[in-house]
Amino acid sequence: MTRLPEEEHTNKAFGWAARDTSGVLSPFKFSRRATGEKDVAFKVLYCGICHSDLHMVKNEWASSVYPLVPGHEIVGEVTEVGSKVQKFKVGDRVGVGCMVGSCHSCNDCTNNLENYCPKLILTYGAKYYDGSITYGGYSDTMVADEHFIVRIPDNLPLDAAAPLLCAGITVYSPLRYYGLDRPDLHIGVVGLGGLGHMAVKFAKALGVKVTVISTSSNKKKEALGNLGADSFLLSRDQDQLQAAKGTLDGIIDTVSAQHPLMPLLGLLKTDGKLVLVGAPEKPLELPAFSLLQGRKLVGGSCIGGMKETEEMVAFAAKHNIKPDIEVIPMDYVNTAMERLLKSDVKYRFVIDIGNTLKATS
Amino acid sequence: MSKSAEEEHPQKAFGWAARDNSGILSPFRFSRRDNGEDDVTLKVLYCGVCHSDLHIARNDWGFTHYPVVPGHEIVGVATKVGKNVKKFKVGDRVGVGVMVGSCKTCECCQQDLENYCPRIIFTYNSHNPDGTRNYGGYSDMIVVDQRYVLRFPDNMPLDAGAPLLCAGITVYSPMKYYGMTEAGKHLGVAGLGGLGHVAVKIGKAFGLKVTVISSSPSKESEAINRLGADSFLVSSDPAKMKSAIGTMDYIIDTVSAVHPLLPLLSLLKVNGKLVTVGLPNKPLELPIFPLILGRKLVGGSDSGGMKETQEMLDFCAKHNIAADIELIRMDDINTAMERLTKSDVRYRFVIDVANSL
């Protein structure tokens, strides 16, 4: 007989969970495992709301297990470390991103690509080594293997650091892997949301020239002003698309809605690279001519490994790169989800867990 | 009043052309320019029959101007060289591939990527700078700027080497560009025709493990015994495809029919690369999740620059690589085209131009 979430593990925990495909979240009592010898336990102070959380609470990827406690941009302060933990101590500022386990022995794990390990264990909604389902960061405490804990540098405020752990690494990794990180290059960023605005900030810090590509003309002012993009392209405007043909070395496409690839491929120079980090559900049309004429490529990328995540956080700290956030109380989360659906946020909600998540008696 | 094809240029020429979208070829008198100071004139000995020739002859891509003389795998002997030509002399064995001109000044041209020049002039079915149309290698002679002429290595047979000028460079270039040259890695070659069979040979020469992926089980014996592939995967067999999931570092996709990409993407390991060199006439369906979850990519490639084409010829000569061909007479060309539509050739027709035109 399966145990209740409250009784599964040793330590009581409290959070908010979705119970069904409506995706509506509500208070939820559960439990976390005792801190193992390699584990780090921390009090959660903030958790970012990722668009993936929204997909998952509504079971849009058909993989959700209810009750589901989302949240994989989790930051806080260490409260306990296991006896074999070397890198962290009580009081340290730490975070956990999208993953909490991997096999540690496959080719990908050995190459610091845990995010591509076939036995990857996601931070929430996944089966852990002990068979229990993982619960994410919309909760008061978190415990994770030291390998998957990230140190947050002192000069980064914790609330703003949270979205780095998913949005940040998701765009940083492909900028590096696909070589779109040099000052002589010009890239486009499609979509100006959580991922898009981080892509602009990282690219600018790397010295890359950036054009924001969006369907909404009202984003132009923000893109050029606050975010520092070099130019703005309204993708519904055929004349602007034509004028920008063959001008970009690469494009980071953060849009997860269905959208045509051909106009984007047309913006690329010879050897240009279109990188998709948003995940449309259905296949997109790919005209072969558009790839052959100009030796272009379309590639994907999914978060990043732990080593690269640490590198990204250090880079953000060094260049003072902070996500633009709207801090909300826990009980605003359902409203936030609705606003997120309409992209009504600049540019990431972050739940003030430490101050507003109150356990019901 | 524009001059006829026979009169437009000073030198008489003769070849076979398609006149309409039936694609049927027949004898055609035309003319070529005088040999300019940068030019090389070739007496054509052999010309490979590329699948693109068929597409253009039948106006499958909608941009054919008739009459069209196809042929861009042209091998012959130099009969004249202009006074600025230092690389070639009369009597040299030479070749011409898919292009005869480019702007020479843009970034692509300066980086030896003339094949991506926005003002590329293809060997046939293109406009010359003087406004006349140009004609390909199903003909007795051709005049070409030296930059677009290749030196044929001494030990390479002229007839079997001809297809390398398009098929060879079309697979060699992406194999270099996308890094498919690490000995011991695993290459999948989808489609076993003109392009595919050369990809197998070049892949083996790079020291790769090569698996041919094909919908025709009957090609297995050839693939392994004659071409040297390490294994053969029947793409229409779900169980075999499933057992090969995540086993390949790269795939060269030579298939020109519309086909699903998802099964091929599944065969790739993490960071795997699928490069398409075939040209289906409708868009392919690209599933995004597999690209993201495995950091995979789908890239294109379109022949290669002149420097790289010469490098490819020299590489093939060194490794004794040439195409497997069926030599035909010029007047068999229409039958050959019919057979080509059914992929009934192992693996390239080559026209014995000098002896049958």
What three-state secondary structure class fits A347? coil
What size, in residues, is chain B?
Answer: 357
Question: Residue A269 — very low, low, confident or very high, per pLDDT cuts 50/70/90?
Answer: very high
How many angstroms away from the CA of B302 is the closest CA of chain A? 5
A148 and A17 within one domain: yes
Encoded amino acid at A209, one letter: K
Per-residue pLDDT for B225 more than 90? Answer: yes
Name the residue range of residue A177's domain: 167-300
CA distance B79 to A201: 61
pLDDT confidence band for A361 (50 / 70 / 90): very low
Quick check: A358 and A27 in contact, CB under 8 A? no
Residue B153 · residue B317 · CB < 8 Å: yes
CB < 8 Å to A298, chain B: 286, 291, 297-299
Check the CA dihedral B96-B99-B103-B104 and report its sign: negative
pLDDT tens-digit map of B297-336? 999 999 999 999 999 999 999 999 999 999 999 999 999 9
HSE at residue B223, side-chain half, CA atoms within 13 A, is: 28
Whether pLDDT at A122 is above 70: yes
- Quote the pTM value: 0.94
Check residue B14 and give its pLDDT: 97
Tell me, yes or no, whether A121 and A185 share the same domain: no
What residues contact residue B86 under an 8 Å CB cut-off, 6+ apart?
A: none
Helices A306-318 and A167-177 meet at what angle, rounded to 10? 100
Whether residues A145 and A175 fall in one domain: no
Q: Which residues contact A126 (CB under 8 A, 6 or more apart)?
A: A100, A133, A134
A347 and A264 co-located in one domain: no
Query: Are A70 and A126 in contact, with CB atoms under 8 Å apart?
Result: no
- Tell me whether residue A239 is in a domain: yes
For each of the domains in chain B, give its residue range(s) and CATH number, in order of start: 5-166+323-356 (3.90.180.10), 167-300 (3.40.50.720)
Number of domains in chain A: 2
- Determine, yes or no, domain membership for A289: yes
Asked whether residue A205 is domain-assigned, the answer is: yes
Residues A146 and A191 reside in one and the same domain = no
d(CA B98, CA A326): 57
What average pLDDT does range A94-108 have in this prediction?
96
Tens-digit pLDDT profile for residues A134-183: 999 999 999 999 999 999 999 999 999 999 999 999 999 999 999 999 99
pLDDT at residue B207 is higher than 60? yes
- Please, what is the average pLDDT of chain B? 96
Task: Kindly report the average pLDDT of chain A as a whole number.
Answer: 96
Shared domain for A202 and A331, answered yes or no, is no
Give the pLDDT confidence score for residue B300 in this predicted structure: 96
Residues of A in contact with B271 (CB under 8 A): 116
Residue A2: pLDDT band (50, 70, 90) is low
**Contact check, Cβ <8 Å, B113/A270:** yes
Q: Does the residue A308 lie in any domain?
A: no
Span A71-85, average pLDDT = 98
Rg (CA), chain B: 20
Nearby residues of A51 by Cβ (< 8 Å), 6 or more positions away: A193, A194, A256, A340
Strands (E), A82-205: 93-96, 99-101, 121-122, 141-145, 149-151, 186-190
3-state secondary structure A174-226: HHHHCCCCCCCCEEEEECCCHHHHHHHHHHHHCCCEEEEEECCHHHHHHHHCC
CATH at A267 = 3.40.50.720
Measured CA to CA, the distance from residue B279 to residue B273 in angstroms comes to 18
**Tokens 């795998």 appear where?**
B73
pLDDT higher than threshold 60 for residue B70:
yes
**A158 found inside a domain:** no
Cβ–Cβ < 8 Å for B25, B334: yes
The separation between the first and the last C-alpha atoms of chain B, rounded to the nearest angstrom, is: 31
Q: Which residue in the set B246, B279, B292 is minimally distant from A300, CB to CB?
A: B292
What's the CA gap between B263 and B265, in Å, rounded?
6
CA B212 – CA B264 distance, rounded (Å): 12
Confidence of residue B281 (pLDDT cuts 50, 70, 90): confident
Q: Are residues A140 and A255 in the same domain?
A: no
Cβ neighbour number for residue B187 with a 10 Å cutoff:
27
pLDDT at A242: 96
How big is chain A, counted in residues?
A: 361
| Residue A135: CATH number of its domain | 3.90.180.10
Question: Is A90 a member of any domain?
Answer: yes
A251 and A334, same domain (yes or no) = no
- Per-residue pLDDT, A99: 98
Q: Is residue A161 part of a domain?
A: no
Answer whether the bond into residue A287 is a cis peptide, omega within 30°: no
CA B187/CA B268 separation, integer angstroms: 9
- Do A117 and A193 share a domain, yes or no? no
Q: What is the model's pLDDT at position B75?
A: 98
ipTM of the complex: 0.93
By C-alpha distance, the chain B residue nearest A282 is B287
Q: Of B251, B272, B270, B281, which is closest to residue B191 (Cα–Cα)?
A: B251
Whether A113 and A241 share a structural domain: no
CB contact under 8 A, A297 and B297: yes
Counting residues of chain B whose pLDDT is more than 90, the rounded percentage is 93
Whether A220 maps to a domain, the answer reads yes
Stretch A28-46: mean pLDDT, rounded? 97
B293: chain A residues, CB-CB within 8 Å: 116, 300, 302
* Same-domain pairing of A281 and A208: yes
At B129, give phi and psi (nearest 5°): -55, -30
For A295, which of B246, B296, B302 is closest by C-beta distance? Answer: B302
- Interface contact B299-A301, CB threshold 8 A: no
Cβ contacts of B224-229, under 8 Å, gap ≥ 24: B226/B324, B227/B192, B227/B197, B227/B200, B227/B201, B227/B324, B228/B200, B228/B201, B228/B204, B229/B189, B229/B200, B229/B204
Q: Do A146 and A173 have their domain in common? A: no
Confidence band of B282 (pLDDT split at 50, 70, 90): confident
The CA distance from B138 to A50, in Å, is 61
Is-contact B24 B310, C-beta < 8 A?
Answer: no
Q: How do beta strands B39-49 and B348-351 pair? A: antiparallel
Write the residue in B279, B284, B292 that is nearest to A286 by C-beta: B284
Q: Is the pLDDT of residue B176 over 80?
A: yes
Distances in Å between the Cα of B271 and the Cα atoms of A107, A122, B338 are 12, 20, 40
Strands B121-122 and B25-32: unpaired
Question: CA of B275: which chain A residue's CA is closest?
Answer: A297
